[in-house]
């Protein structure tokens, strides 16, 4: 995204944010490490507000810092990730003229209708959505399982086969981002705070209620091992493959066929580039907008519960009914500012900070946690994950599979439009093999290490009796949001770990929400136009408003179920995209060499020696 140097206003804002961050940071520091000194001077809502001021001012400072790179003077990515800067009046006018009526109007109408029904008939609305989603997950389970397994197989073909050599752009095209930046943006956009939310909880839940595939006794040593295997399965290469099979076709048709940066670009082989403005193409983009907003808004609402649980646990205070609204409102301001400042500034910098915090927390957990247990159980779980991968992918029986595996696959497919589109936009100048390796292999490796560390530590603490995390979860009505805090309290340097954990919640959610805001603004803007600042602000605020409505009206699980239902259409669309891309490559991309052939060609040639009759003696 081309970004200009900071304006005078932005420079002034940056200067003002420094003392704000310093002052609020000092209060948070004293509250964390010298709680008795503060006493009861600050209420629960006060701690929420102060914490958000600290995180928001710090992240906001990163976002508004000026950026200048001579490479930005070149049209490296066209309008793909550019934000148009203008005055307030021009911004409002360009926003009104630039929005696609269908792509913008239909999602806004659907969300408004949903919350009206949820407010008027909450029980009936929730029951109807739950019944429909439950039926689809049970009946459509084989479709999700087959689509996800096919996605994994197709990614393996792209990784090792000849099509992996295809370059996304002309032969001389250079990548728009360095590889560390590329990986950072892909990883942080695609995983969100679910990594923090479920890291300490998923293995624990499988330990309490073991998956029927293995059939272990609940809360036994065998159940602990099986729980880690299923955590890897739900967050490993299968999940990330859903992003790749959406992102690679979009990237290919954008950079090799001149198609627009749209999710509907998947249909290029069937509709043609000019046909993407048809009703079918616009409906696909509209569905992508709905899935993205529903997924992000419910995630914001749910992680607010985790953050507030941490505040209540740490300071033993009640956050009240206004606490969640304060959190969501503050978080919305952070990710709107990040998205509006652009990818080279807010999005890139906060993503970099995210990865640093992620690595620091994982390192501390590895040092302070039960290393021998995590290494031993983790290595065993990883080996069993590889051995059982195909049977697990084909296992269709039981309500447990529908509620966990199929639900997860549907959720990942519902996020695939926005994550895949972002991957496509970042991948100009990359080879297909690099895109797949980064999107599937590198990201899933980082994710699986996290789940082995956090899940293994939770199981060890639970089984050793150092902390009863399951009891803490039960006391909060079964909410998984609280699982991480009694776990961290049982470890050395617990104050530091809890602080980093809360920071990760905010930063991980910001890095996905700012990306989704940019992607939705691109999809809702008329073809050929870059989204304006007004469009960025509108869609970011709209996502925040949906999250606030969830908190006020209720129905977080209902809205999440609606968003998950979009995973079904995109599972089918991913299959259509794979078919169309394969047909295009068979026709237009011949003469490439697979990585297997390249390795084989470098092996020494072994010549066969034929037996030769000895010469006859005279």
Give the tens place of pLDDT for each residue, 155-201.
999 999 899 999 998 788 889 899 999 999 999 988 877 888 899 99
350 within domain boundaries: yes
Specify the pLDDT at position 234.
95
Q: How confident is the model at residue 38 (pLDDT cuts 50, 70, 90)?
A: low
Q: Where are the alpha helices (DSSP H) in 465-566?
A: 469-475, 484-489, 494-524, 533-553, 556-565
Q: With contact defined as beta carbons under 8 Å apart, do 141 and 569 qualify? A: no
Q: With contact defined as beta carbons under 8 Å apart, do 497 and 322 qualify? A: no
Q: Is the pLDDT of residue 111 over 50?
A: yes
User: Residue 504: left if φ>0, alpha if ψ -120 to 50, beta else—which one?
Assistant: alpha
546 within domain boundaries: yes
Separation CA 290–CA 299 (nearest Å): 14
Q: Is the pLDDT of residue 13 over 70?
A: yes
Specify the pLDDT at position 4.
39
Residue 499, exposed/middle/buried by CB under 10 A (0-12, 13-18, 19+)? Answer: buried
Domain carrying residue 222:
8-589
Mean pLDDT score of the chain: 84
Q: How confident is the model at residue 303 (pLDDT cuts 50, 70, 90)?
A: confident
Instruction: Give the mean pLDDT of 200-225.
Output: 93
Instruction: Give the mean pLDDT of 430-435.
Output: 95
Q: Which of 56-70, 71-85, 108-122, 334-348 has the lowest mean pLDDT?
A: 71-85
Instruction: Give the mean pLDDT of 119-135.
Output: 82
Q: Which of 312-316, 432-436, 488-492 has the lowest mean pLDDT?
A: 312-316
Specify the pLDDT at position 77.
42
Residue among 419, 351, 393, 431 at smallest CA distance from 598: 431
598 within domain boundaries: no
Q: Is the pLDDT of residue 587 over 60?
A: yes
Give 137 or 519, the one with higher predicted confidence: 519
Specify the pLDDT at position 87.
56
Instruction: Give the mean pLDDT of 73-87.
Output: 49
Query: What is the SS3 assignment for 459?
Result: helix
pTM above 0.85, yes or no: yes
Separation CA 251–CA 262 (nearest Å): 10
Q: Is the pLDDT of residue 71 over 60?
A: no
Q: What percent of the chain has pLDDT over 70?
A: 88
Specify the pLDDT at position 76.
39
Total number of domains in the chain: 1
456-489 pLDDT per residue, tens:
999 999 999 998 999 988 888 777 888 888 999 8
Residue among 361, 417, 354, 6 at smallest CA distance from 180: 354
Residue among 473, 489, 462 at smallest CA distance from 228: 462
446 within domain boundaries: yes
Residues with Cβ within 8 Å of 476's Cβ and at least 6 positions away in sequence, in order, are 309, 482
Give 590 or 365, the one with higher predicted confidence: 365
Specify the pLDDT at position 42.
66
Residue among 304, 334, 336, 282 at smallest CA distance from 103: 282
Separation CA 560–CA 414 (nearest Å): 10
609 within domain boundaries: no
Specify the pLDDT at position 58.
86
Q: With contact defined as beta carbons under 8 Å apart, do 144 and 567 qualify? A: yes
Specify the pLDDT at position 78.
42
DSSP class of residue 345?
I
Separation CA 109–CA 101 (nearest Å): 11
Q: Is the pLDDT of residue 5 over 60?
A: no
Q: Which of the residue ranges 190-199, 421-430, 565-574 has the most confident prediction, judged by mean pLDDT? A: 421-430
Query: What is the SS3 assignment for 525?
Result: strand
Q: With contact defined as beta carbons under 8 Å apart, do 521 and 261 qualify? A: no
Strand partners, 525: 99
DSSP class of residue 441?
I
The CA angle 327-96-515, to the nearest 5 degrees, is: 40
Separation CA 136–CA 138 (nearest Å): 5
Instruction: Give the mean pLDDT of 540-549.
Output: 88
DSSP class of residue 429?
T
Q: Is the pLDDT of residue 75 over 50?
A: no
618 within domain boundaries: no
472 within domain boundaries: yes
Instruction: Give the mean pLDDT of 580-593.
Output: 86
Specify the pLDDT at position 409.
94
Residue among 326, 347, 341, 356 at smallest CA distance from 513: 347
Q: How many CA atoms lie within 13 A of 265 on its CB side?
A: 27
Q: Is the pLDDT of residue 330 over 60?
A: yes
Q: Is the pLDDT of residue 361 over 90?
A: yes
The CA angle 610-612-613, to the nearest 5 degrees, is: 155
Specify the pLDDT at position 573.
93
84 within domain boundaries: yes
Write b or e for each residue in 109-129: b if 16 or more Cβ atoms lie within 10 A of its Cβ, otherwise e: ebbeebbebbeeeeeebbeeb
């Amino acid at each position: 995204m081309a970004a200009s140097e900071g304006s005078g206003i932005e420079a002034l804002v940056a200067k003002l944010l420094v003392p704000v961050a310093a002052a609020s940071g000092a209060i948070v520091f004293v509250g964390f490490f010298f709680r008795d000194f503060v006493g009861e001077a600050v209420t629960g809502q006060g701690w929420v507000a102060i914490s958000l001021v600290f995180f928001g001012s710090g992240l906001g400072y990163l976002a508004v810092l000026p950026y200048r790179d001579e490479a930005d003077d070149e049209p490296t990515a066209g309008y793909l990730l550019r934000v148009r800067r203008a005055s307030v009046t021009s911004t409002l006018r360009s926003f009104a003229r630039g929005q696609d009526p269908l792509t913008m109007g239909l999602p806004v109408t659907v969300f408004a209708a949903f919350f009206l029904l949820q407010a008027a008939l909450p029980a009936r609305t929730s029951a109807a959505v739950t019944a429909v989603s439950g039926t689809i997950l049970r009946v459509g389970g084989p479709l999700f399982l087959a689509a996800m397994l096919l996605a994994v197989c197709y990614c393996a073909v792209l990784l090792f086969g000849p099509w992996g050599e295809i370059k996304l752009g002309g032969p001389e095209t250079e990548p728009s981002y360095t590889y560390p930046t590329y990986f950072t943006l892909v990883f942080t956009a695609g995983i969100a705070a679910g990594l923090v939310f479920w890291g300490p909880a998923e293995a624990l839940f499988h330990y309490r209620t073991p998956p029927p595939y293995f059939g272990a006794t609940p809360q036994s040593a065998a159940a602990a091992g099986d729980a880690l295997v299923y955590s890897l399965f739900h967050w490993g290469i299968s999940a990330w493959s859903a992003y790749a099979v959406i992102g690679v076709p979009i990237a290919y048709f954008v950079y090799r066929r001149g198609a627009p940066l749209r999710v509907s670009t998947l249909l290029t082989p069937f509709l043609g580039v000019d046909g993407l403005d048809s009703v079918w193409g616009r409906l696909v983009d509209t569905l992508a907008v709905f899935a993205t907003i529903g997924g992000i808004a419910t995630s914001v609402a749910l992680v607010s519960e985790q953050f507030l649980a941490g505040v209540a646990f740490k300071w033993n205070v009640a956050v009240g009914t206004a606490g969640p609204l304060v959190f969501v409102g503050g978080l919305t301001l952070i990710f709107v500012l990040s998205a509006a400042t652009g990818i080279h500034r807010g999005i890139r910098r906060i993503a970099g900070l995210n990865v640093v915090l992620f690595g620091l927390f994982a390192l501390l957990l590895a040092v302070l946690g039960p290393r021998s247990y995590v290494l031993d159980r983790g290595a065993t779980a990883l080996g069993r994950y590889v051995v059982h991968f195909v049977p697990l992918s084909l296992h269709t029986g039981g309500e447990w599979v529908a509620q966990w595996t199929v639900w997860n696959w549907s959720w990942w497919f519902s996020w695939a439009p926005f994550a895949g589109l972002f991957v496509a936009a970042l991948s100009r100048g990359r080879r297909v093999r690099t895109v797949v390796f980064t999107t599937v292999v590198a990201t899933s490796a980082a994710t699986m290490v996290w789940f082995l560390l956090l899940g293994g530590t939770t199981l060890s603490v639970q089984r050793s009796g150092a902390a009863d995390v399951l009891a803490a979860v039960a006391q909060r009505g079964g909410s998984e949001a609280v699982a991480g805090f009694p776990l961290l309290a049982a470890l050395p340097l617990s104050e530091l770990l809890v602080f980093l954990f809360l920071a990760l919640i905010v930063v991980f959610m910001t890095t996905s929400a700012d990306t989704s805001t940019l992607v939705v603004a691109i999809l809702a803007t008329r073809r050929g136009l870059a989204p304006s600042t007004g469009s960025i602000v509108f869609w970011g605020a709209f996502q925040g408003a949906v999250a606030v409505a969830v908190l006020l009206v209720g129905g977080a699980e209902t809205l999440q179920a609606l968003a998950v239902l979009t995973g079904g259409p995109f599972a089918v669309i991913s299959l259509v995209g794979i078919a169309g891309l394969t047909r295009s490559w068979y026709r237009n991309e011949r003469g490439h060499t697979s990585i297997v052939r390249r390795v084989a060609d470098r092996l020494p040639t072994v010549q066969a020696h034929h037996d030769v009759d000895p010469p006859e003696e005279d």
